[in-house]
Structure 1
Amino acid sequence: MFQYDRCSRNSACACFQLPGASNTGICTDRYAVTCSELASCNRTTNHCSQSDHTCVHHPQCRDIPVCYPAPHYNKQFCQPMPIMPNIPASATWAKNGVTVSGGNGNGNAINQLFKPDGIVIYDDQTLIVADGQNDRIIQWKKGDTIGEVVAGGNGKGNGLNQLKGPRNILIDKETDSLIICDTGRVNGLAMNDQRYLYVSDNAKQEVRRYQWGDKNGIIVAGGNGHGKHLNQLSVPTCLFVDSEQNVYMSDNWNHHVMKWAKGAMA
């Protein structure tokens, strides 16, 4: 990226190029300090004496590199912009699929699945499957012929090492952990880049959004009882949240997919 290019969802963040590097920089708050508060980098090493500062170019302030604050919470403040896949309009897909997990009949062996439900895929193409009737979460690395149980698999139950017909899963990349939707009134899970957790509740006919550590959440869709009106839901199931926090859901018993804009009245 080039000097001062926008590099985050947060419009206050910009790219500051590193000395001696071509199109390489840090993404940080461009309004964190004034020019008069900046100190020059060590002219020999381009290092900064403060551990939470980085040596960068800032030509609006000085002609020589300066030490600019890049605190530990910078990743949360300057969250990266989403990378949109560049799929050509003329792209085509294979007409036949390929089995990548299971395919050996229903059963509980580690090369089998039994009524699998939700799936997620890591960046390295490792596949995580909610193996519903086997009460477990099983992982299949790319090219593997057998899976590995990563949660549950200790019989049906509500113990901390057990699951009961898991329906859905997602990956929290911040903590590299799984969030599992076990059988009950909850069907769908989604998490956006701000780590808000969205949960569809098919008993209350609503979708709630939770901040990390929040036990109550707020209603972002539905919550007006079971029905067909545009402010109602009827067994909300799968969820998707886009970069603008619009919520999309499959409204199961109403036989349609709905979009609820951020801030829409429930």
Structure 2
Amino acid sequence: MTTATTDKKLYDICQKAKGISKCEGCSKIFCYNHFGDHRQELNQQLDEVEVTCDLFRQTLNPSPFCPIVVSPCKIKINDNTRWLQDGITITGGNQRGNELSQLDGPWGICVDDDEQTIYIADTFNHRIIEWKYGATHGQVMAGGNGPGKRIDQLYEPTDLAVDKEKDCFIICDRGNRRVVRWPRRNGTCGQTVISDVQCYGLTKDHDKYFYIADHERHEIRRWRIGDTCETVVAGGHGEGNRLDQLDSPGYIFVDKDYSVYISDEKNHRVMKWIKGATEGIVVAGGQGKGNGLAQLSGPREVLADQLGTVYVTDCGNHRVMLWSKGAT
């Protein structure tokens, strides 16, 4: 909080005596021009405190579901994190199949830290399955009635998000070229909210806007439930490899500043589109298809942490890559 002051003290950065304010938190005097900088410094310090708090909480209550702290649009990973080279199976692992202890081609996932639950787009079983922490089998939450286009069916779903406010799933029902809303509790059928879209990936920002990747139209669109139209926020200039184009975009991540990170699959790169930009920035790959450390091959899932580090599943190379901000 600030308070205006008529004190004759000079702010020592710019030596102004007029238009100055006092920060009630630290009791320092700032001119209006520099108070914004002070606020940003405080916000950064608050972020650091939140990271420390989250890491301490994980130390007290470790869980295989929480190797990183996930909140809407904000991934917090400590600078000193060391990654284990051996993974832990938390769902599936019982060979390919359609039993409740099995998966068949799982693609997108969504983690609910509050309920210690992971939701999985079990693509070739045509269902969304819920798997609780420590469980030996899952529970079908949507679909599971074979492939089809009825309202109680899904056809090769590829990704999902949870809308806790409306207590429902938003699902990329790729094979049916639609986005479906499905109740999260005792839901027996879904409702189509977007038609005629080859959706691969979707995500949600903290203003409750959803973002969908249209694999066929090579663009990312933003919309909110109840809206009658969507807004193109990336791509939309046809298939291509220019900085204002995408080629078969897959998965999306939106950070706290509304920058959109996109796995640009057939361009073998990850693009970042700052809010309002007319073209993107290559933040990973972009050196052609390959297995070198400067290359990607068909990237899929992508996320970014608070430092701008990009994590991407490099599908064609069977690996997960970490790209520090500005790295080549």
For residues 118-133 of structure 1, the aligned pairs below 5 Å read 118-123=108-113, 124-133=115-124
Q: What CA distance in whole angstroms lies between the structure 1 residues aligned with 2:226 and 2:88?
A: 40
| Aligned partners of 2:234 and 2:273 also within 8 Å | yes
Residue 258 of structure 2 corresponds to residue 253 of structure 1: no
2:172 maps to 181
Q: Which amino acid aligns with 2:156?
A: G
Identity of aligned residues (%): 43
| Aligned partners of 2:222 and 2:231 also within 8 Å | yes
Match of 2:132 among 138, 141, 161: 141
Aligned residue pairs total: 190
C-alpha change, 1:135 and 1:264, in structure 2 (3 Å) is same
Deviation at 1:172, TM superposition (A): 1.2
2:160 maps to 169
C-alpha change, 1:237 and 1:83, in structure 2 (3 Å) is closer
Q: What CA distance in whole angstroms lies between the structure 1 residues aligned with 2:275 and 2:204?
A: 14
Deviation at 1:210, TM superposition (A): 0.6
| Aligned partners of 2:74 and 2:256 also within 8 Å | no
- In the TM superposition, structure 1's runs of 4+ consecutive aligned residues that sit over 4 Å from their partners are 80-84
Q: What CA distance in whole angstroms lies between the structure 2 residues aligned with 1:223 and 1:85?
A: 31
Deviation at 1:202, TM superposition (A): 1.4
Q: Which amino acid aligns with 2:90?
A: V
Q: Which amino acid aligns with 1:106?
A: R
SS in 2 for 1:238: strand
Q: What CA distance in whole angstroms lies between the structure 2 residues aligned with 1:91 and 1:135?
A: 36
2:206 maps to 193
* Deviations 1:94-127 (CA, angstroms, capped at 9, x unpaired): 3211111111111110000011110011013201
SS in 1 for 2:76: coil
Deviation at 1:92, TM superposition (A): 2.1
SS in 2 for 1:169: strand
RMSD between aligned residues: 2.2
Deviation at 1:82, TM superposition (A): 7.5
Q: What CA distance in whole angstroms lies between the structure 2 residues aligned with 1:101 and 1:147?
A: 8
1:230 maps to 243
Residue 97 of structure 2 corresponds to residue 107 of structure 1: yes
Q: Which amino acid aligns with 1:212?
A: I
Q: What CA distance in whole angstroms lies between the structure 2 residues aligned with 1:84 and 1:117?
A: 20
Deviation at 1:158, TM superposition (A): 1.0
Deviation at 1:260, TM superposition (A): 0.7
C-alpha change, 1:231 and 1:102, in structure 2 (3 Å) is same
* Deviations 1:161-194 (CA, angstroms, capped at 9, x unpaired): 1000010011112222211101141111011000
SS in 2 for 1:133: helix
Match of 1:95 among 51, 64, 85: 85
Q: Which amino acid aligns with 1:198?
A: Y
| Aligned partners of 2:160 and 2:171 also within 8 Å | yes
| Aligned partners of 2:73 and 2:205 also within 8 Å | no
Q: Which amino acid aligns with 1:247?
A: V
| Aligned partners of 2:259 and 2:274 also within 8 Å | yes
SS in 2 for 1:91: coil
C-alpha change, 1:244 and 1:107, in structure 2 (3 Å) is same
Q: What CA distance in whole angstroms lies between the structure 1 residues aligned with 2:157 and 2:86?
A: 28
SS in 2 for 1:264: coil
Q: Which amino acid aligns with 2:116?
A: Q
Q: What CA distance in whole angstroms lies between the structure 2 residues aligned with 1:196 and 1:207?
A: 12
SS in 1 for 2:266: helix
C-alpha change, 1:177 and 1:94, in structure 2 (3 Å) is same
1:61 maps to none
SS in 1 for 2:160: strand
Deviation at 1:203, TM superposition (A): 1.2
Q: What CA distance in whole angstroms lies between the structure 2 residues aligned with 1:83 and 1:248?
A: 13
Structure 1 residue runs of 5 or longer lacking an equivalent are: 6-10, 12-79
Q: Which amino acid aligns with 2:265?
A: N
2:51 maps to none
Kindly indicate which of the two structures has a greater share of residues assigned to helix: 2
SS in 2 for 1:199: strand
1:241 maps to 254
For residues 200-219 of structure 1, the aligned pairs below 5 Å read 200-219=213-232
Q: What CA distance in whole angstroms lies between the structure 1 residues aligned with 2:218 and 2:73?
A: 30
Q: What CA distance in whole angstroms lies between the structure 1 residues aligned with 2:245 and 2:122?
A: 31
Q: Which amino acid aligns with 1:128?
A: Y
